[in-house]
């Protein structure tokens, strides 16, 4: 799971960004180790229909829709013949449908179309990037449907894959994502994706600014993933309790 790719990302995205040089090195490692990137849609089809996957399949995903994905990541992906999945928050992208809230320079729709033409799957990531488990049903329905409608209108094809902003979801959120027409969705979890997680709770590992090439190799090889993200998982579990309490208190005030 990537976010911004750039030399000098905004402060808000710095920790979850990677430099163009690091990204190029990481993609070279995937090629050298014999990995074959697939899109999220292809993984979903394979697991639902029993279609075979290529040797050593891996997902390369980008959340939010930062401009550096087109400027820096796309040339590297093309060089290696790699596909990826880009999850866009449609209200954050520049141009039509733009609203406030973007954390850094975002893609515009021509750049999104260029990425799609190069083989990148474009998936949904809501319209304005809220914490979906904290919003009411009306807002949840708007965020998922509006995002899907805009992507379909701009690209001529409705997206089938979705990623939860911040990785947060509940059964209610997952049901709404499915009702909106998405066939699979990605969380975070900082674990490898497994079939038993179900199509609407597939997990990913986070690549950060501080992820060195040795750590990256361990992650993609599935070694020491739990140990690497032990602190993140403990915080996530604790924060989940806080989030449930907040939502319960909000409902009581309504």
48-62 tens-digit pLDDT: 999 999 999 999 999
Q: Could you tell me if 124 and 142 are in contact, meaning their C-beta atoms sit under 8 angstroms apart?
A: no
Please tell me what DSSP assigns to residue 60.
Answer: -
Handedness of CA 88, 94, 98, 102 (dihedral sign): positive
pLDDT of residue 231: 57
Tokens 């390369």 label which residue?
Answer: 60
| Average pLDDT for 16-37 | 98
- Please state, rounded to an integer, the average pLDDT across all residues of the chain: 91
pLDDT of residue 222: 86
pLDDT of residue 249: 56
Q: SS3 of 67, please?
A: coil
- Per-residue confidence band for 226, with pLDDT thresholds at 50, 70 and 90: confident
Distance CA 71, CA 39 (A): 20
The structure's pTM equals 0.90
Which is more confident, 226 or 218? 218
What are the DSSP calls for 90-143, one per residue?
Answer: TTTSBSTT--S--SS-B-BHHHHHHHHHTT-EEEE--SS---GGGS-HHHHHHH
Question: Residue 245: in which H helix or E strand, if any?
Answer: helix 230-253
Where residue 178 falls (left for φ over 0; alpha for ψ -120 to 50; beta otherwise) is alpha
166-196 tens-digit pLDDT: 999 999 999 999 999 999 999 998 989 999 9
| Average pLDDT for 207-231 | 86
Where residue 166 falls (left for φ over 0; alpha for ψ -120 to 50; beta otherwise) is left
What are the DSSP calls for 155-216, one per residue?
Answer: HSS---EEE-GGG---HHHHHHHHHTT-SEEEEEETS---GGG-TTSEEE----TT--HHHH
* Residue 233, pLDDT above cutoff 60: no
Distance CA 17, CA 131 (A): 20
Distance CA 78, CA 75 (A): 5
Q: What percentage of residues in the chain have a pLDDT greater than 90?
A: 85
Residue 239 CA to its chain's centroid (Å): 20
Domains of the chain: 11-225 (3.20.20.370)
The number of CA neighbours under 13 Å toward the Cβ of 50 is 0
147-158 tens-digit pLDDT: 999 999 999 999
- Per-residue confidence band for 84, with pLDDT thresholds at 50, 70 and 90: very high
């Amino acid at each position: 799971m990537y976010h911004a790719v750039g030399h000098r990302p905004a402060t808000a995205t710095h920790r979850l960004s990677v430099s163009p040089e690091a990204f190029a090195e990481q993609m070279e490692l995937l090629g050298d180790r014999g990995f074959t990137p697939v899109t999220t849609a292809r993984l979903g089809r394979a697991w639902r229909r029993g279609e075979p996957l290529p040797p050593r399949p891996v997902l390369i995903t980008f959340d939010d829709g930062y401009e550096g994905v087109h400027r820096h990541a796309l040339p590297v992906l093309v060089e290696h013949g790699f596909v990826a999945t880009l999850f866009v928050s449609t209200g954050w992208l520049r141009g039509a449908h733009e609203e406030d809230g973007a954390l850094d320079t975002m893609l515009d729709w021509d750049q999104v179309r260029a990425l799609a033409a190069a083989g990148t799957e474009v998936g949904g990531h809501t319209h304005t990037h809220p914490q979906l488990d904290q919003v009411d049903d009306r807002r949840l329905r708007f965020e998922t449907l509006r995002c899907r409608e805009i992507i379909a209108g701009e690209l001529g094809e409705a997206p089938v894959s979705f990623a939860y902003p911040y990785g947060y979801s509940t059964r209610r959120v997952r049901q709404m994502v499915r009702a909106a027409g998405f066939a699979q969705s990605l969380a975070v979890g900082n674990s490898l994706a497994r079939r038993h997680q179900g199509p609407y709770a597939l997990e990913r590992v986070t690549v950060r600014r501080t992820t060195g090439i040795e750590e990256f190799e361990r992650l993609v090889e599935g070694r020491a993933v739990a140990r690497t993200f032990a602190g993140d998982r403990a915080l996530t579990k604790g924060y989940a309790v806080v989030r449930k309490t907040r939502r319960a208190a909000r409902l009581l005030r309504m």
